[in-house]
């Protein structure tokens, strides 16, 4: 199967479960989790970072209660062949009210949002031939009125992005309070009319315990950190092997430069390890047996014809995340974040994690966890400690670069910063020794420069610096016979810079020289950045980062060649 057909089958657009199944898109079977949620009669709530598959999970529940697992309307059930087909034996007929609060609230005031909620209720009542509530009353009265007309155990109530309106108005105190009041009305109605509901399931991004809802939501079961639901969103390694086998083989053939039919299982396993390093490592219950990959990032990787490993998800998440960081935390706290995250795992109280929402974050780490930049690294117990760590390179790279933009682009004038001026001048000169000295001086000003311990950190330090300088570095760029670690353009010089990184733990000059020679030869052999997408000139450099205590920094930097095109 060619790349185009493989790409067409990817569920990269926002689509419901029914559309995915009807169009023959890849659907990773999560219906065992759906069964657990649908079989229960208590309300559930699930929080996950954006683009992890919450909406698909919700639409799967919707389809289950609308049509069941039997064939209908002349076609097979969309659940045919899935795990729930043999588990589900509920033949009841239900009304399904599915609200996407992100769409209902989009760009609106709280007053307009309330009107949209009432319109949604009225539309549902018309479709179900129920008496329409009085539209002149407030939302709570409309919702209560609708529930009063329902038969017991007849309504399936699903809400996608329950916290979207709250997050939209987080920095507008009066609007936020009005929004909280609306949410209280909604949660209270579910609690006071629990006999009307067959199933209630809400999804969102932020913790709901501290949203000012009082006791209105204390009947909800939060499965966000429940071990049994750790893999209900995101893809496991086994799921990637099962559902994306051909995509993996195609990507392995591109990355290894070999024919598709010659790709071995060992090559696929090696690719899975690289994907795990970039996009995996998420654990929402702390169990290392249920690690998952970022759904969005893996799909974007498979949709990239060049099989380029680079940040995908973090570019989508950056805006709101930075706004929240800048609102609640000082620069000194952000510097501390970088220092601690770079050291690996760190610990805070379990209650600090679960009792902090994005609206009222108690500490930056709970915010980082809810937005997906940190994950649980050990089994979680709310009464104990929460062990947190960066899950992968994408989030680590994204976090450091988002903060770099906050530190440098938004707060410092780079034109008057002496170390930055030296980097700019050195790059313009294309002199290897000047560039090495300038990079080392500038890296010394970064808040976590004392922490690099491997080749990943060596790359990320330079990438962070380049972003701060206003460049747009491209990471792990595929070109003809290989992949350069970093490529960026100097338009004023009509020159593309190519960087190949090597890491050496020892400060032994012979070992450092050997690593530089290896990097320079690799550049020449693999023809990095000579694929027609570059400036008229291409300057290619090898960099050796030394990790020895007392000697950390760029120990060697040499130019492989300067090519006029």
219-231 tens-digit pLDDT: 899 999 999 999 9
How do 553-564 and 155-160 pair as beta strands? unpaired
pLDDT band at 482 (very low <50, low <70, confident <90, very high): low
pLDDT band for position 431 (cuts 50, 70, 90): very high
In sequence order, what DSSP letters do the residues of 402-424 get, joined into one string? HHHIIIIITTS-GGG-HHHHHHH
Both 100 and 11 in one domain: the answer is: yes
Mean pLDDT, residues 342-367 taken together: 74
The reply to whether 406 falls in a domain is no
Number of neighbours of residue 448 by Cβ within 10 angstroms: 22
Could you tell me which residue, 402 or 47, shows the higher pLDDT?
A: 47
Q: How many other CB atoms sit within 10 Å of the CB of residue 282?
A: 26
539 and 418 together in one domain? yes
pTM of the full predicted structure?
Answer: 0.79
Q: Is the pLDDT of residue 410 over 70?
A: no
- Domain boundary (280, 303, 326) is at 303
Tokens of 357: 């929402």
- Distance between CA 27 and CA 20 in Å, rounded? 7
Residues recorded for the chain: 565
pLDDT reading at 253 higher than 80:
yes
Which pLDDT score is estimated for 399?
A: 73
- Cβ atoms within 10 Å, residue 111: 9
pLDDT at position 276 is: 93
Residues 142 and 289 in one domain: no
Tokens 């609640």 sit at which residue? Answer: 328
**CATH number of the domain to which 530 belongs:** 3.40.1350
Residue numbers of the domain that contains 283: 237-303
| Alpha-carbon separation of residue 275 from 84, 143, 468, 527 (angstroms) | 29, 46, 27, 24
Q: Are residue 424 and residue 491 in the same domain, yes or no?
A: yes
Q: How far is 523 from 520, CA to CA, in rounded Å?
A: 5
Say yes or no: 421 and 339 in one domain.
no
Residue 470 binned pLDDT confidence (cut-offs 50, 70, 90): low
Q: Where are the alpha helices (DSSP H) in 128-229?
A: 139-148, 164-168, 173-192
Domain shared by 33 and 146, yes or no: yes
Asked if residue 342 has pLDDT above 60, the reply is no
Query: What burial class does residue 105 get, using C-beta atoms within 10 Å of its C-beta: 0-12 exposed, 13-18 middle, 19+ buried?
Result: buried
The neighbour count for residue 522, using CB atoms within 10 Å, is 16
Decide which of 173, 189, 224 is a domain's last residue.
224
Task: State the pLDDT at residue 419.
Answer: 67
**Per-residue model confidence (pLDDT) at position 341:** 63
Domains contained in the chain, number = 4
Q: Cβ of 128: how many Cβ atoms within 10 Å?
A: 15
- Which of 113-127, 169-183, 390-404 shows the highest mean pLDDT? 113-127
Six-digit token string for 132: 């329409």
Give the pLDDT band (50/70/90) at residue 98: very high
Rounded Cα distance, 217 and 365, in Å: 24
How far is the C-alpha of 425 from the C-alpha of 186, rounded, in Å?
Answer: 60
Q: Answer yes or no: is 289 within a domain.
A: yes
Q: Which residues pair with 99 in a beta bridge?
A: 159
Residues near 28 by Cβ (< 8 Å), separated by ≥ 6? Answer: 235, 239, 243
Q: What distance in Å separates the CA atoms of residue 82 and residue 84, rounded to the nearest whole number?
A: 6
Give the pLDDT score at 211.
66
147 shares its domain with 285 = no
Mark whether 73 and 172 lie in a shared domain: yes
- Rounded to whole angstroms, the Cα distance separating 278 from 294 reads 9
Whether residue 34 is contained in a domain is answered as: yes
**Residue 41: inside a domain, yes or no?**
yes
Mean pLDDT of 383-388: 83
* DSSP 8-state symbol, 208: S
For residue 350, give every residue at least 6 positions away whose Cβ sits within 8 Å of its Cβ, in sequence order, or none.
Answer: 380, 381, 382, 383, 384, 385, 386
Residue 56 Cα distances to 53, 121, 233, 452, angstroms: 5, 22, 9, 39
Average pLDDT value for residue range 238-249: 97
Answer whether residue 48 shows pLDDT above 70: yes
CATH number, position 176: 3.40.50
Structural domain includes residue 232: no
* pLDDT one-digit tens code per residue, 509-549: 999 999 999 999 998 888 777 766 667 889 999 999 888 88
282 and 423 belong to one structural domain = no
Burial of residue 33 (number of CB atoms within 10 Å: 0-12, 13-18, 19+): buried
Residue 213 and residue 96 share a domain = yes
Residue 404 lies in a domain: no
User: Which pLDDT belongs to residue 449?
Assistant: 43
562 vs 357, residue with greater confidence: 562
pLDDT digits (tens, 9 = 90+) for 140-196: 899 999 999 899 999 999 999 998 898 888 878 888 889 888 988 999 999 999 999
Shared-domain flag, residues 152 and 13: yes
Q: What is the pLDDT of the chain when averaged over all its residues?
A: 84
Is 202 part of any domain? yes
Q: Would 485 be classed as within a structural domain?
A: yes
Strands (E), 353-494: 375-376, 385-389, 474-479, 482-490
What is the average pLDDT across 291-306? Answer: 93
Looking at 187, 202, 224, which one is the last position of a domain? 224
Q: Are residues 219 and 82 in the same domain?
A: yes
Mean pLDDT, residues 265-285: 93
Nearest-angstrom CA–CA distance, 171 and 147 = 33
Cβ count near 274 (within 10 Å): 18
The alpha carbon of 268 is separated from its chain's Cα centroid by a whole number of angstroms, namely 23
**DSSP conformational letter for 544:** E
């Amino acid at each position: 199967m060619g790349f185009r057909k493989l790409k067409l089958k990817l569920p990269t657009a926002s689509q419901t479960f029914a559309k995915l199944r009807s169009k023959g898109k890849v659907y990773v079977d999560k219906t065992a989790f759906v069964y657990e949620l649908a079989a229960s009669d208590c309300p559930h709530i699930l929080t996950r970072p954006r683009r992890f598959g919450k909406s698909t999970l919700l639409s799967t529940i919707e389809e289950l209660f609308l049509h069941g697992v039997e064939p209908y309307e002349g076609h097979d059930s969309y659940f045919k062949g899935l795990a729930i087909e043999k588990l589900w034996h509920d033949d009841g007929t239900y009304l399904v009210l599915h609200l996407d609060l992100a769409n209902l609230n989009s760009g609106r005031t709280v007053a307009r949002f309330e009107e949209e909620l009432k319109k949604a209720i009225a539309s549902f009542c018309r479709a179900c031939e129920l008496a329409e509530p009085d539209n002149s009353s407030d939302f709570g009265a409309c919702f209560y009125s609708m529930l009063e007309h329902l038969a017991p155990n007849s309504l399936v109530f699903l809400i996608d992005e329950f916290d979207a309106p709250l997050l939209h108005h987080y920095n507008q105190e009066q609007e936020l309070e009005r929004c909280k009041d609306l949410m209280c009305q909604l949660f209270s109605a579910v609690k006071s009319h629990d006999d009307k509901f067959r199933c209630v399931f809400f999804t969102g991004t932020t913790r709901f315990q501290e949203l000012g809802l009082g006791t209105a939501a204390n009947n909800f079961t939060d499965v966000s950190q429940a071990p049994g639901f750790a893999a209900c969103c995101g893809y496991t390694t086994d799921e990637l092997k099962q559902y994306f086998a051909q995509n993996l083989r195609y990507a392995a053939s591109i990355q290894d430069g070999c024919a598709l039919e010659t790709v071995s299982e060992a090559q696929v396993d090696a690719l899975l390890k690289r994907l795990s390093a970039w996009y995996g490592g998420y654990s929402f219950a702390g169990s290392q047996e249920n690690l998952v990959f970022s759904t969005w990032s893996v799909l974007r990787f498979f949709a990239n014809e060049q099989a380029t490993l680079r940040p995908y998800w973090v570019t989508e998440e950056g805006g709101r995340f930075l706004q929240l960081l800048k609102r609640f935390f000082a620069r000194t706290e952000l510097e501390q974040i970088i220092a601690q995250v770079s050291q690996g795992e760190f610990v805070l109280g379990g209650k600090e994690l679960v009792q902090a929402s994005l609206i009222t974050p108690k500490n930056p780490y709970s915010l980082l966890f809810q937005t997906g930049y940190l994950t649980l690294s050990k089994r979680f117990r709310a009464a104990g400690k929460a062990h947190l760590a960066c899950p992968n390179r994408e989030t680590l790279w994204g976090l450091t670069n988002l903060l770099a933009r906050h530190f440098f682009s938004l707060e410092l004038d780079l034109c008057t910063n002496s170390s930055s001026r030296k980097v700019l001048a050195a790059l313009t000169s294309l002199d290897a020794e000047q560039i090495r000295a300038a990079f080392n001086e500038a890296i010394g000003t970064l808040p976590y420069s004392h922490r690099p311990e491997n080749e990943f950190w060596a790359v990320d330090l330079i990438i962070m610096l380049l972003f701060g300088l206003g460049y747009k570095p491209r990471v792990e760029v595929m070109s003809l016979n290989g992949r350069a670690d970093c490529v960026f353009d100097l338009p004023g010089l009509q020159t593309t810079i190519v960087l190949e990184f090597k890491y050496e733990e020892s400060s032994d000059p012979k070992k450092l020289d050997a690593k530089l020679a290896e990097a320079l030869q690799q550049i020449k052999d693999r023809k990095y950045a000579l694929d027609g997408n570059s400036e008229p000139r291409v300057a290619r450099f090898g960099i050796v980062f030394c990790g020895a205590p007392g000697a950390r920094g760029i120990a060697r930097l040499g130019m492989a060649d300067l090519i006029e095109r």
